[in-house]
Structure formats: C-alpha cells, structure tokens
Amino acid sequence: MALDFWYNEAEKKEQDEKWKQDFKNIGGDVYSFFIDTAIEKGYENREGQWDMSFEITDAMKNRQHIVVEAGVGIGKTFAYIVPLLYYHKRYKKPIVIATSTIALQEQLAADIKIIEDIIGYYPDIVLAKGQNHFLCKYRCDAYFLCEKDETIRKIYAEIEKGGCQKADWDIYIPDNIWNQINVKEFNPVFCRQNCVHKDYCFYYSLRHELLTTNGIILCNQDLLTINLRKRHNFSKEIITDRFQFVVIDEAHNLEGKVRNSYTTEVSYISLQRTVEQARKIARGLGNTIDKKLKRYYKHLDSVFDSLNLQVKDQDRIAKKENREIERYYLDRNIPALQGLKDCVHDIFLEVSMQFGVDDSYRNKDYDAELEALELQEEFWTAMLKEECEDIFWMTLNGKGKKGIVLANCPKDVNKLTERLFFSDADFTTILTSATITSGVGEDYEEGYKYFIANTNFPMEKGFIAEPKYSPFNYDEHAMIYYTEDMPHPSHERKRFIERGIDEIVRILEISKGKALILFTAKSDMLEVYEGLKERVPYRVLMQNGSASQSDTIAEFKKDVNSVLLGTGTYWEGISVEGIALSNLIIFKLPFPVPEPIIDYKTSICQDGLMEVLVPEMIIKLKQGIGRLIRSEKDFGIVSIIDSRVGEKSKAKYKRNIWEALPIKNRTSDFDEIEEFYNLLNSGKKEDVCLQKRNR
C-alpha cells in the first residue's frame, strides 16, 4: 500500500513537471505568435492583446480560473484562442468555448480558421447552435403531409432539395411553419428507433459529434450550463466530458444564463395539460379521477383569479407612474393554494399507484407525465413555504389569467454558478468580456467586485487580470456631451420627454442624422418616436417586434443619414462601423427597473443602490456606449440626455460612472461638441488634437 502510494505520488510529480514544461513551450509559441508571426502577417502589435494572452497561458499552466475584461478592439478572441490552439496541438483534447449569441459563435469559427492558417494546425471545429435552428425531417414530413396549400407545398419542394437550417433555403419560411418542422425536443432513443432520416440528419450527427469530438466546440452558455448541471447530477451529458478548458465569452451574461437554467415556469395552460394527461392515463387503466379533477380546477381557477387581480393592481400603479413592468411581484398569500397543492398530491398518488399495479400498462412509458405531476406539486409546495428559498414572480404571455406565467428560481444563483463553473477540478474556466467591471478606480479589483459577487468567482484559486483597455484612440475620436438642468427622468417624466425631444433634435442637427438612440423603456421610445419623426428631415427608424433586428439594422446602414431608436438587445447586440453610426444618444441612465430579482439582490446588501443598482446600470451603459466606436477609423459623439451625470448633479454615483467609461473626453458645452464633430467629419484630426492641448 505504501509502495503504491509512493509510485502514485512519483507519477503525479512527473506529470506535473511535464505539464509545466509543455506550458513553458506553449508560452514561447504564444510569445512568438504575437511578437513575430502575427506582425509579419500584417496584424497590428496590440500590447493589451498579447498581455491578455500571456496571462491566460499562465492561468492555464497553473490551472487557475481567470477573469479578464478586454475593451473593444483588443482582439480578445485571438488572445484566448492562440494559447488554446497551441495547447490543443500538444494534447489533442477537446476545448469548449461558450458565448451568448450565434453571431459571436460564427465570428469565432472564422477567427479560429484565420489562426489555423497562420499556425498551420487544423483541429475540428464543432459549431453547436440550439436545436430549434435545425430541420427535423420526421416532423417536417408529418406536417406537410396534411397541407394542401400551394404556397406551403412550394416550401416543402425547396426543403426537399436539401439543407439543415433555416438560412439554407432562399425561400421565405414563416416562423409559424418553421416551429412545426424544426427540432423541438431531441430524443436520441426515439430517433434511433423510429426515424428513417437519422442516418443523414444533421442534428442527430451533431449531437453524436458533441459527445465524441476531440476538437473545439463552439456552443452557447445555455447549452454549457445545462451540460454542467447534468454532470453534477450524474446524468448523461450532451458534450464530451474530456475537456480541460472552458472559455466563457461575453461573461457578463453568465449570471443571467445560469439563473434561466434554474428557472421553472408554469402557466394555466401547461398545468391544465399536465392534469389532463393524468386523466387520460387513469381512463386507460379503467379508473376515473374526474371528481378529483373537478376539485382541482376549482382551486386552480381561484388561484389564477387571485394572480390576475395582482397583475391588474400592479398595472394600474405602473400606469400612474409611467413605467413598464417586465416581471410582476407575487403575493404568495393565496387562500386556495393549499387546496390546489393537496389536489395535485391526491391525483399523483392515485394515478401512480394504479399504474404500478396494472400489468397491462407496465410496458407503457408514462414517466414524463407522472414526473410533470410531481414537479407541479413541488412548485406549489415551494410557494407555500413560510421561509421561501426561491424568488417568485409573474410575467404575461397573453391576456387574462390564462396569459399569466408563474416563475421561480433559487435565490443563491451565485453559489450555483460557483458549483458549476469553478468547483470541478477536471477543468479550468476562462472568463472574458468587454463589459465586466463596473467602475475602475486605483484598485482595479474593486471594479470586478459586482461580477465576483454574482458568480462567486473563487478569489483564492483564481486570477483577476487587470482590465485591458481598448487600443482605439477615444480621446481623439470621441467625446461625450452631457446635459445640465434637465428635469428628472422619473419624477418629472412628462417634462423630461418634452425637453428630451428638443435636445435630441439639436444633437441630430450636428451629425445630420447618422444616430442610434438607446432607451430603457419602450414607452419612452414610442413617445420620442412620435415627437421626433415630424421634426427632423431624416428617416426615423424604430425597433419593431414584427421585424428582425438584422433587417432593421440593414435599413439603418443603407440610409446613412437615418436615425434608429432601440431598446433591450440594441444596447449590446449590434455593431455598425462607419459614419452611419457616428452619433450615439443615451436617453436615460439604464438603471434596472424594480422587480423581484433585483429587489432580492438589493435586500441582502448594506447599500443596494451602490452595490447592485449602480453596477448594473454602469455595465449596461458601457455596453451601450460601446456601440459607437467599432473600428480604428470610427469616430463620433455620445450624448447623455440624463442630467444625473452633470456637474450640478448631487448623485453619489456620478464619479463611478465617469471612471468606468472608456471615453474620458467630455463636455456640457453644446458648441464644443458641435465643433468637435465637425472637425472630425471634415478629416481635420490634427485640429482636434491641437484643440485638446489648448483646453
């Protein structure tokens, strides 16, 4: 036994020495790539990029988790892909890179191919999009078999020519049709046993490849989170378990992705579907639970009637305060709730007992239906707990009580994030984004404080890198204009909207359009749109729920002088290079609206404003301002209409905002911002530099 222990220790020491020597060589390769090879190939020497890459290499060598903010233009994808490729060249083990958007997944695939050509090494790349993006030929055949409409038959004829995802066909496929023919709930056992198309099904092959590849997997954060949950629950994983390194790009979204993964949602319709399946099982077993179901529906209606009253009350207050509601608060004190929970328990007990003793039904698989009943009982049980461990809320997906969606998630998502991404000794996590810090003073680690709190990033076994600032010359190419003496955007909303429109008209005249205006609320956006479109000679576009974001952005780019109004994903989801977006207007500081999750986070802090609300706002503000300068040649101005950042403002977070923003040039003088833009637009950058020195 002692001898075995000695041999094991000696072998481990030998492996550790080899690992360190390998990474010494990898470090040399990384250094040579950035200092010599890349420059010889015509790429710029970006100090922040290779500094970031060296830090990641060291973290990989030491098996340390690392978090690093990399400003726009650093080239963060190259910074982490280069050491990972050299690692892969030596070890041939799979690597996982998880992002938030398909656009970034596709960009990563393109970047990896560029680096492969430079290095001369070509591992497999597996691009793992969500299942709903892919065609299910089994569902497709079933759907079109019943369709006689000529237009729909033309779609089928095109699909039959070959292809695997919506973008593969030139013909327009409406969403309502695509949702009937795409992959919905992938079940490999069902596919293997029932589908005649499995041998040439792209998605079926993709799922097999994800489990067997030794290459680089590009997936979204949702898929990776689900996979790691399966790993911790000892379930069959979706992705190979042989990876040693995981990259989380756009890491500022990680908390939300983990929260979404642990969120349970129920609606009147979904609950009804569950108990009707129970009725069907019972009847099939020669039993009836109709009386129990009658009692169930009485309680269900009573509960959802109470919820509907809560929604109406909150809508009435929100309308009076001119604000929008994304998540509704939930008062769990509902008299009928205990009766509803007891009914579900009785139904589950009776159906499961009958199913268990009936020999003729033992071969039928009703596990999913019984599990749905059990989960429903767990949901009501959690809702009834006096000391609730979860956060509950409501959203709307239609009118009336049948449009209410009830949701809950665990309170301590940060602990779950730590468990999934930082507690497994088998892999190391690399986290990066352009917007992680929320205010950088003398101690840069303070800027990461909010991110660390949200993810429980392990300080003791992790490395917090100094933020890598954008190489773009913001001081020469950009300036922020801020207003003074504007009405308060919430307390005096009507006056703020009116004066805000006047200010926007003035600002748009500087650039003759060419502007993106970002809003925090759709109601503000709609009012400004109506007030603006008749007052400016430029085409005014607005984010439209019925039009795709890519189509709207394409229209904006095409009409160079147009003005685009957006909210939500427009704060971080778009990239428009060139003069078409040379004027960015922030209508209001993007503070999060009051809602149950934010309220819980503030409730466990000493200072909810400075510890939660301000960091949330600053990160989103940085994302929004990041839309302006997307390349070295870009230039422009940012205008913040909200006077809470002004010199006269007494807001205690004002300094935090200015410290966090990458553009340090700022003025409240309208003539100065106009002169700045005009000089840049005329190409007289040397005059801008001279003007700066003289100030």
Q: What letter would DSSP give residue 135?
A: B
Per-residue pLDDT at 362: 45
Q: Which residues touch 51 (CB under 8 Å, ≥6 apart)?
A: 468
Query: How far is the C-alpha of 500 from the C-alpha of 492, rounded, in Å?
Result: 12
Query: How far is the C-alpha of 395 from the C-alpha of 404, rounded, in Å?
Result: 6
Per-residue pLDDT at 497: 96
Per-residue pLDDT at 693: 47
Per-residue pLDDT at 7: 57
- SS3 for 316-354 is HHHHHCCCCCCCECCCCCCCCHHHHHHHHHHHHHHHHHH
Rg of the chain over all Cα atoms, to the nearest angstrom: 28
What's at 320, amino acid-wise? K
Label residues 495-508 b or e (16+ Cβ within 10 Å = b): ebbebbbebbeebb
Q: Which residues touch 76 (CB under 8 Å, ≥6 apart)?
A: 49, 52, 68, 70, 249, 432, 434, 468
Q: What share of the chain is helix, strand, coil (3-state, %, to 5)?
A: 55, 10, 30
Per-residue pLDDT at 363: 42
Per-residue pLDDT at 327: 96
> On the CB side of 250, how many CA atoms lie within 13 Å of its CA?
21
Find, among 67, 42, 74, 17, the residue nearest to 447 by Cα.
67
Sign of CA dihedral 126, 132, 135, 138: positive
Per-residue pLDDT at 555: 92
CA distances to 539, 540, 563 from 534, rounded to whole Å, are 10, 9, 13
Segments in the chain below pLDDT 70: 1-7, 147-148, 286, 354-366, 440-442, 545-547, 684-695
Beta bridge partners of 541: 564
What's at 206, amino acid-wise? L
Identify the residue whose tokens are 């205008």. 639
Q: Read off the pLDDT of residues 301-332 as tens digits, 9 standing for 90 and up.
A: 999 999 999 999 999 999 888 888 999 999 99
Q: What are phi and psi of 73, to 5 degrees?
A: 95, -10
Per-residue pLDDT at 252: 95
What does the chain come to in residues? 695
Per-residue pLDDT at 111: 93
Query: How far is the C-alpha of 577 from the C-alpha of 101, rounded, in Å?
Result: 19
**Which domains, ranges and CATH numbers included, belong to the chain?**
2-130+211-260+414-464 (3.40.50.300), 131-204 (no CATH), 264-410 (no CATH), 474-694 (3.40.50.300)
What's at 669, amino acid-wise? D
Transcribe 146-165 into DSSP letters: T---HHHHHHHHHHTT--SB
CA distances to 102, 335, 400 from 394, rounded to whole Å, are 28, 18, 13
Whether 24 contacts 84, CB under 8 Å: no
> On the CB side of 266, how many CA atoms lie within 13 Å of its CA?
22
Per-residue pLDDT at 364: 52
Per-residue pLDDT at 685: 57
Query: How far is the C-alpha of 295 from the C-alpha of 176, rounded, in Å?
Result: 36
Q: State pTM to two decimals.
A: 0.90
Q: Look up residue 468 and give its two tokens.
A: 């890598």
Q: What letter would DSSP give residue 244?
A: S
